[in-house]
Structure 1
Amino acid sequence: MRILIVDDETLIRQHLSSLEEWESLQCAIVGEAANGREALELIPLVKPQLVITDIRMPEMDGIELAGMIRRIYPHIHVMFISAYDDFEYAKQAMKLGVCDFITKPIQVSEMIDSVELLQQGILRMNEDERLEREKAISLLLSEDTGIMEAQNLLVAHHVQDRSIQVILVEIDNADLMHLSERPLSFIVLRELVDHRLQDQPQMYWTYLDRSGIYIVLFAADDMPLAGGVQSMQIANQLLDEIGKLSGYSLSIGISRPLPSAAELREGFRQSKQCMEYRMLLGKGSIISYEALIGLEKGRMDKEDKAMTELLMHIRRGDGSQIPAALRVIYREMLAAGLDKKVIQHYALEVLTRADQMLEELHIPIPPESSIDAKQKIFSYSILSDLLEFLSGYLSQAAYLIAQQSDTGTPSIIRRIHLFLEQHYKEDVTLASLSAKLHMNHSYLSRLIKKQTGVHFRDLLWKHRIDKAKELMRQQELKTFEIAYELGFKDPSHFSQVFKRMVGVSPSDYRASLPPT
């Protein structure tokens, strides 16, 4: 809690400011003032949540200060301290909504207890108010809520005459998070957002939705929002500070300033629509609906030149040209200002065309691989990530076509044998081999088994055992030296594999060799 101390006696201000108990209550003394006038000048600068003030002071006393705070800053709490235990003062304090009245000489324990009770009350009140606001937002967003019911809700929350602006904070690539992680991540994000915004003077509501955190900014009574300047400042602060604290990459959409809280639904729609353009602009973006209005939304023809060239490279089996072709498409999408749905359907069309080419050429592609790829397209929220995924998938399709034109599947198996002959010492895995060949992991495994009759691991061991036989014929190396030379970390494991594949132990095999 941020506290401002106001007293015309310097020693009292210093004493209250230096209390060690503040730290345990997570309180910070953000300023000191000698009278009410100084306090009013400080409040917008230090943004206190509690003002502890003396009553009798020169220039502006505590009674007048409390009245001004109640009118200008109704969210700030006031606590009176006074050397005069006067019933009249106590009555005025009650009228002004002062949270406590403590007489001098000040008992530290009494003040600390009072502040602690205030904190607990604020927490309960904040939670109750938040639940009420979320309920109100849900009703205002519902199409079943009538005009009169909506107006009554706005009046009940004293926001009927206030202009608004809506900010949406989303975690980038939240769709790729595990389902169990999302709710907790959004709750943590909301707590961080609330904590960051609690010191800013502008009234706001927050609303947790499955897509992210909505922030509704309210202008002061009868005052329009300042052209979105404040919302952009808040967005920049949230992106920088909350992103660092949470460890998440965030993007933010900002609606236009709207003349009335009755247009809440439109504000939510605009801020959400901004997120459709995150795919173009990338992670960590701040996207203003105002800026999108002048953007001419194009639509890329499925038969446009860029797609035609991309498909031509795939059909020719020229995977090396695919990244460059996708970069051209990326630039055209940026220029056209396409939204997320158009981009996703464009990507789906390209992928479907590539699969059709493979079918026409009778090249097998695992059905689950194609289905997974098509589903994955709709999980990407950033264009560069989507195109990187497409590049890998389409390059694999081009590679399969190229291999068929070069005597087809047998050529792939020859390349695998050649690779293993050259790299048998290394820790080669099916995953590293499939990456090297730009092929699907599961598809490559089935292809090897179908064409060679053995699994990949046995194929690798066969190459190692063949090399072991060659080394044994030279009669130069011991068995354990051969094992290490072949990439086995354990000589006994080498002996077991050798006996399983050859039928005899390495020593028996060496003994059976004719003398050189």
Structure 2
Amino acid sequence: MYKLMIVDDESLSRYVLRALITKKFSNIEIVGEAENGRQAIELNHKLQPDLIIMDIKMPGINGIDASMEILREYFNSCILILTAYNNFEYVKQALDIGVKGYILKPVNELEVVEKINKVLGQIDEKLNNCDFKELIDAKLRAIKPYMENELVAAFINGNCDVGKVENYIAFLQEEIKAGYFMLISPGRTNSREINECIRSRIIKEKTAAIVTRNLPLYKKCFFGKPQGNSIVVFIPVNENFEHKEVVNEAVIIAQDILRKLKVAGDVNASIGIGNAYTDIKNFSKSYNEAGFALRKSSDQNSVIHFSSLCIEMNSGTFHEYPLDLENKLIDEIKAGNIENAKSFADEIITELIANIDNMDILKGYAEELIFILKRNVFKMGIHMDKSLSMGMLLELVELTSADEIEVWCKKNVDYIIEQVEKCPGRNSEMISKVFEYINRNFNKDITLESVANEVGLSSQYLSKIFKEKCGTNFIDYITTKRLEFAETLLKKGDLNIKQVSKMSGYEDSNYFCRIFKKNTGLSPRQFRANVILHNLQ
């Protein structure tokens, strides 16, 4: 129901308008009447009608001045002015200040109905636009945490599609040129009243709540999906950052978070922090460094920055973990290429042993390698004996030489790879998943990256095995699938070209027609005409 107010110093004029509007508009309620400009201003403030019909010439404050005052305070107000034939200077003035139109006196029923309907349409359009904007804003708020998770996952991955990452950043309306990772791992409370499993879950939830509420108050940050027992946070910094300043600030923030966890939740925790880097592809180094620092934490309520470990270990020429080789190793394992996997594993171990003299760092990287492999194998649905896993780590602690660590690495990497080898058809199963996904989604917004993410491979590796298995590249394969589907739709004859284009995965029908002709030698219309002609013969 729309609310309307009539403003006119003549009671007969108000009566005529009231009777006409009541008769013609069942969706309008006349909520007030005023006989001068002052009353109109006061009633508008009290009633806030959707529409005001205002006479121009009234004693005291006239209709122009009253309208100006109302529009100054309520700029969305809709006002129609009443005017006689000889008052067009006033009309021009009224239109200049923002009234929606005018109605001539004496009033004509058709004109009144037409002008009111026009204004009501404008009100509806404005409301719909507001509703739509609120709906879009609500959807954006709902999807934002998911986009943040995807962005952080891409940073962790390292060999991510930079274009896709930049799209995430643009969607979040952020500017990320540099940053570092912080991993927060909760311990136990002092409570012994409930069983261990429930207690552990409560601690994690309590820690996550306190961290997500407090950390953004210090710095802009993005939360990723929890990794094991750790809360994952990426913190952007200025691309021209000073290393020492960023380190000091990160440690101070982490220490304050620990205090808040203790005071607000009676939770002990450890925090590992990686170095800040400027290239998106280097952010994964910071994640690995934060994980390494976290694992070096000797007790709860401690903050370890990776740079402090390097200083303590006198490793001014610190050798970076071979992340690229690790990604290749994981791809080969997922695809079931056992010999290739073993070859990459040997390459990683050889590089670590040859370049790292410090035993603590070497052990940390060896542990990192085994941890990453176990996690990926677990995601493939292959489970290993937990007691064996614990035994691996206990054995590593006792080792004292690089040769012993090399033997330990090879033995345990081979063991993990053998678990994959025991699962027959891993390669063919992976390929089957790829084609199942493509067959379901070829006519949607599908990319090599989206398929790779779906089956858990890197886009580079997927491109390689796609070429090997199909003899063509990904884009050409998708194009062929779409055009075959388009031909099927064109043969049915009950859809127009735009509909066929859209259903085949092409939003732009002109582009679809060019691609179709390039691949078939015929335009879609010619193809359909040939089909019809063939059916008639």
**What TM-score range do you get, normalising by the shorter chain?**
0.3 to 0.5
